[in-house]
Structure 1
Amino acid sequence: MYEEIKQCADFIAQRTRAFDPEVGIILGTGLGDFADHIDVKYAIDYKDIPGFPVSTVEGHKGRLIFGMIEGRRAVAMQGRFHYYEGYTMQQVTFPVRVLKLLGIRCLFVSNASGGINTSFRVGDLMVITDHINLMPNPLIGRNMSEFGPRFPDMHNCYDRELIARATAIAEEEGIKLQYGVYVGGTGPTFETQAEYRYFKAIGGDAAGMSTVPEVIVARHMGVPVFGVSVITNCGLSDEAGDHEDVQRQGAKAGRRMAVLFRRMIKNL
C-alpha cells in the first residue's frame, strides 16, 4: 500500500510541478464552494489520478485543487470518500496519506452533520473538540511504519492551539461558534431518533458519516488537525433527513466557515 501511495503522490507532484502544499483541506457535503476562495494554480479530477478513489456522492465534485490562500500554498479536496460508498477504510483514507507525502503540515476538515446538542441550531458552526468512532478503525491491518507507530495516541486529536486561534478569530469576525464532540457512523441511512438519543447519552454533540477515519490517519502521521461541522439538521427533531437540504444548509454556513478557514490559514 505504501508504494501505491507514493506512486500516486509522485504522479500528482509531477502534474503540479512540485507545488509542495503547506495546508490540506477536506471539504464536506455542500462545502465545495470554498474552492472559489483559492487562487487556483492546478486542478486535477480524481478520475485522472492513478489509484485515487472517485467521489460518488452528490455535492462532492471530485477534484484536487492546488493554489494560494492568503499567501499560503494549499491543496483542497473538493469532495471526500465514505465507507458507505463501498470503499475500504484504506481507500477512504488513501488521499490523506497522499497529501502527507505531498508535504502538508496541517489538515483542515469540514463536514455536514446532524445536531445532537439541543442548544444547537441549523446553520451553526461546531468546532470539533473530540470524536467518538463508531466505524471500523482505518489503522486495522499491517501498520505502515513509514507513516507512524502501531499504537498512535489520540489525545489532543483536534489541535488545541488551532482551536484557540479559531476562537479568537471568530470573536474578531463576529462569527458564532459552537464546540462539541463529533460521532462518526457508517451511514448511509440518516440516524434514527433512538440512535441520536444514544449518541447524546455517550457524549456526542453532532453526528455524521465521515471525517473520523481521515483524522485518525492524519494523527497517525503526526499531522495537526482542525475540524468544523456545519449543523445542517437537528437530529432530535421530528423532521425527516433530506440530502438536498443538507447541501443547501452547508452552502449557507460555508460562507462563514470560509472566513474562519482563510483567517486561520493566514495566521498559521
Structure 2
Amino acid sequence: MSDCESYVDATHPRFLKKLVAMHSGLKIALVQLAVGPDKAKNVAAAVQEIHKAKEKGAQLVALPECFNSPYGTEFFEEYAEEVPAGETSRALSRAAAEAGVCVVGGTVPERCGDRLYNTCAVWDPSGKLLAQHRKLHLFDIDIPNKITFKESDVLSPGDKITTFEFNGIKIGIGICYDLRFGEMAHIMAQEGCALQIYPGAFNMTTGPLHWELLARARACDTQAWVALVSPARAPPGAAYRAWGHSLLADPWAAVPHALGPAPGTLHATIDLNVVEEVRSQIPIRRQRRTDVYDTIKKSK
C-alpha cells in the first residue's frame, strides 16, 4: 500500500447497506432474579420468568450471571454441572422450546472433565443449543478493606469470543468481568454485532462506580446496543451482594432502560435503525487508523 492510500477498519457486510426502516426490532427481556441456595428453586423461578416474558411479547430472554447458584468460589464445585447435558441446561432448553423464545441462559458453573468454567449457554426457540460462551477474563481483584475475590482459585478461563445470530441480528456474549475489556467488544463489533449481552454480578464496591459507566463505554466504543443482566441484590449479611441495576445502553451511549436493585424484568426493543444511524453519522469504523493500531482476533 502506498503512502497516499488510506487505512480503514473493515465494515461488516451487515452494515454496508442501509437498514430497512420498517424493521420492527427485537423485543428483549432482561430478567433480574433473586438467587438463593436452592438450585431447583432458582431454576424454576428462571423458567417461570421466561414464560412470563414471552407473554409480554419478548422474543429473546436473558438471565443473570450465576442464576442457579450463589456467587462465590466456595459454591462453584457444588453447583457445577455439564453443559448442555446438565439439569439446568435441560430445563432452559425445554423452556425455550415451550415458550418459543431465544434464551440467553445467564451463567452456570460448568463442569467439563476436571475443569470448572463460568458458562453462558444460548438456546434457540426450538430448544437447540445456539452458542456457548465460557468467561474469558476471570474476576481476580483485591481492593483493600472492600473486596478481595479470585475466581481463578476454582475456575478456568475460556478461550473464544462468542457471537451468534438470531432474527437477523448478530449478537455477542460476554460475562461480567469481560465487560472491562474493550478489545473483546471491538472484535464482536467487527464481526457485525449490533447487540452485546453481558450477564454479570458486579459487587457493591465496583457496581456503583463502573457498572453503568462500562456499559455506556462499550456502547459508545462499538456503536451497538449493550445489555447488562444482574442478579437482584441479596439482603444485608449475604456473603456476596450483587449491585443489581440491570440495564440497556443504546448506540448513542444513553441508558433508556434500567432497573433498581430489586427483582424485576426489563422489557425493551432493540432498534437496528439506531445502530445504522449512529454508525453513519459518526463514522469511526471508516476512520480507524489501522495503519497505526489495530485489534486482531487470534485463531484457535
TM-based fold match above 0.5: no
| TM-score when normalising by structure 1 | 0.30
Q: Quick check: which one's helix share is greater?
A: 1
Higher relative contact order (CA 8 A, sep 6+): 1
Structure 1 or 2, whichever has the larger Rg, is 2
